[in-house]
Amino acid sequence: MHALPFNQHLAGCGQGLKNIDYYFKANYMETLTDKDALTVIQERKSVRNYTGEPAGKEAIDKLLRAAMAAPSAVHMMPWKFIVVTDIKKLEKLAGGLPFAKMLVKAGTGIVVCAVATEAAGSSEEFAILDCTCASENILLAAEALGLGAVWTAVYPNKELMDFVRKELDIPQHVIPLNLIPVGHPTGDEKALDKFDAKNIRWQKWGGDF
């Protein structure tokens, strides 16, 4: 169904600003969070402060679709994702992971798991690389949706990996790469301009910018 033109929508309604607000939310609110790809990349930030409002299943589904759109070696896609929203599980994970103390306030945690036996050549290295790409897509998609997210490390710390495996019943051969808290940001964190021309070489290592 196509939305009515703005003036036609308001004609005869006689409710002034109330109807303007309704029309705006119904027809334009979704586009407010639409950003072009380069803007999303530049505005992505690691969010550690959350409002406590849950992200919601629809948004999480979008993040997971983005994750699984990532590239992978020989298109093997050796990833699995565990979504945790249960408050008791979040509290337990936050208690055992030194970098994920914000997990409870975020309201959702996504554990990205790498399965080496499903990777190209059954390679652990390829599995980690592929799941890193999937993780970055989650972070970028969260930014695009106006959500906050942050990579909190599990791999390669053996104690942390074993802790997450135990808490979430993950098989020993599966690598919990990270735990990504997701939620609504307070707005405290701001994107940083990380570009540095000194990190670029042309044609060879010693080439000039």
163-195 pLDDT tens trace: 999 999 999 999 999 999 999 999 999 999 999
Write the DSSP symbol of residue 204: S
Rounded Cα distance, 108 and 157, in Å = 22
Higher pLDDT, 101 or 208: 101
pLDDT value, residue 200:
93
b/e map of 78-95 (b: 16 or more CB within 10 Å)?
bbbbbebeeeeebebbbe
139 vs 177: CA distance, rounded Å = 14
Q: DSSP string spanning 147-168?
A: -EE--EE-TT-HHHHHHHHHHH
- Here the tokens at position 16 are 């002034």
> First and final CA of the chain: distance in angstroms?
52
138 to each of 44, 101, 107, 121, 141, how far by Cα in Å?
Answer: 11, 19, 16, 25, 5
Q: Is the pLDDT of residue 148 over 50?
A: yes
State the DSSP H helix or E strand holding residue 18, giving kind and residue range, or none if neither.
Answer: helix 17-32
pLDDT more than 70, % of the chain: 84
Which position has the higher pLDDT, 26 or 56?
56
pTM beyond 0.85, yes or no: no
Report the sign of the C-alpha dihedral through residues 119, 172, 132, 54, in that order: positive
Domain-wise residue ranges, the chain: 6-31, 35-183
Q: Which CATH class is domain 35-183?
A: alpha beta
Categorize the per-residue pLDDT at 19 as very low, low, confident or very high, splitting at 50, 70 and 90. very low
For the chain, the average pLDDT equals 88
β-strand partners of 185: 50
Q: Using CA atoms, how far apart are residues 154 and 53, in angstroms rounded to an integer?
A: 25
